[in-house]
Amino acid sequence: MSPADVLVVFAKAPRAGEVKTRMCPPLSLEEAAEFYAAMLDDVLEATARFAPELGLSPVLAVHPAQACAALARRAPTVFRVVRQRGASLSERMEWAVREALAAGAPRVLLRGSDSPTLDRKAVAAALAALEQHDVALRPDRDGGYTLVGVRRCAARLFAHPMSTDRVLADTLEKARELGFSTAVGETGFDVDTAADLRQLRHAQRGENGANCPRTRAWLSAKNLV
């Protein structure tokens, strides 16, 4: 049997003061952790549902390493749980891609855990783009991306500052330097700041809202939608 394509979900332990701190205020540190946990559970559940349908092997990459056991208990059993390796996010992304490709995966997709409306259609589109291109990206509104896929060794592809408004542009520039062909999909969004809650509220009125029932329930309970 040929090795499967791989979808890696990057996740942190949902601890107060360590996740979604840019949303404080209006949220407290404890509320930000609760909100992140709701998004993470939605992302894991949705990924576990559509990954097998798309022929993807799902991996949960955890930071810090000490949180692996707790997140393994939290994740659906279809996930293989590994610790992230590398001093920076750039290094950890490169490691995840390199390891999956070295194990024989034809295509590797990376996603975060703060884009709960990212759906099966978006993932399928990235896989289709990788049939013809070396790198596929789904942009977000802030100059970054919510999903990246590669089919060639990504050495230096992510060797630039992350969490800036130039992440997408810098990644495309690195791809050009490496001679990689690229495809840029439809724009999505992740939830980094309190202002992003307005976009999430709008998305909830569409079909993507069905992807994040726990997130919607948490926001409703806090009167934030």
pLDDT at 69 over 70: yes
Read off the pLDDT of each residue in 54-69 and give the average, rounded to a whole number. 97
Question: Among 80-84, 88-92, 203-207, which is the least confidently predicted range?
Answer: 203-207
pLDDT at 197: 84
Check pLDDT > 60 for residue 91: yes
Question: Quick check: 76 pLDDT over 70?
Answer: yes
Contacts of 100 (CB under 8 A, 6+ apart): 6, 8, 59, 108
Split into its structural domains, the chain has a count of: 1
Residues 148-156: what's their mean pLDDT?
91
Q: What is the CATH number of the domain that holds 104?
A: 3.90.550.10
- The tens digit of pLDDT for each residue in 28-50 reads 999 999 999 999 999 999 999 99
Contact call for residues 139 and 184 (beta carbons, < 8 A): yes
**How many Cβ atoms from other residues are within 10 Å of residue 193's Cβ?**
11
Comparing CA positions, the residue from 193, 225, 199, 190 lying closest to residue 39 is: 190
| Contact assessment for residue 33 and residue 20, using Cβ atoms and an 8 Å cutoff | yes
Residue 207: the pLDDT is 44
What is the average pLDDT across 133-149? 95
Q: Does position 195 have pLDDT exceeding 80, yes or no?
A: yes
pTM tops 0.85, yes or no: yes
H/E element holding 200?
helix 196-204
Query: Has residue 204 got a pLDDT over 60?
Result: no
| pLDDT at residue 59 in the model | 98
Please give the torsion angle defined by the CA atoms of residues 48, 163, 68 and 220, in that order, rounded to the nearest 10 degrees.
-60
User: Could you tell me the pLDDT band of residue 2, with boundaries at 50, 70 and 90?
Assistant: low
pLDDT, residue 124, reads 97
Q: What are phi and psi of 191, to 5 degrees?
A: -110, 100
What confidence tier does 201 reach under pLDDT thresholds 50, 70, 90?
A: confident
List CB contacts of 21: < 8 A, sequence separation 6 or more.
29, 32
Interhelix angle 213-221/29-50, rounded to 10 degrees, is 160
For residue 45, the enclosing domain spans 5-221
Tell me, what's the pLDDT at 147? Answer: 98
Q: What is the mean pLDDT of residues 157-162?
A: 92
Whether the per-residue pLDDT at 108 is higher than 90: the answer is yes
